[in-house]
Amino acid sequence: MSAPDENAGMPRYPEPLAVRIPEACRMIGVGRSKLYELIADGTIQIVKIGSITVIPVGQLRALVEIK
């Protein structure tokens, strides 16, 4: 008899902490232009890592929960 798997029901790979612009658009179902509007008006904050722009997944979740 084996011990219960503590990771049962957990995703095989951890969810990313931040995603790039195209993935963020897919996640919340908006186009690139709309996402940039949300960034420009301060609704969504970006993080720059060198030349890469990412958006924390928590920002996207909060936006969807508010709306």
Separation between Cα atoms, residue 33 and residue 9, nearest integer Å: 36
Quote the tokens at residue 2: 């084996």
Sorted by where each begins, the domain ranges of the chain are 18-66
Whether 7 has a pLDDT exceeding 70, the answer reads no
**Amino acid found at 63:** L
Counting Cα atoms < 13 Å in the Cβ hemisphere of 65 gives: 6
Q: For residue 18, what are the contacts with CB-CB under 8 A and spacing of at least 6? A: 47, 54, 55, 56, 57
pTM for this predicted structure:
0.76
pLDDT digits (tens, 9 = 90+) for 21-58: 999 999 999 999 999 999 999 999 999 999 999 999 99
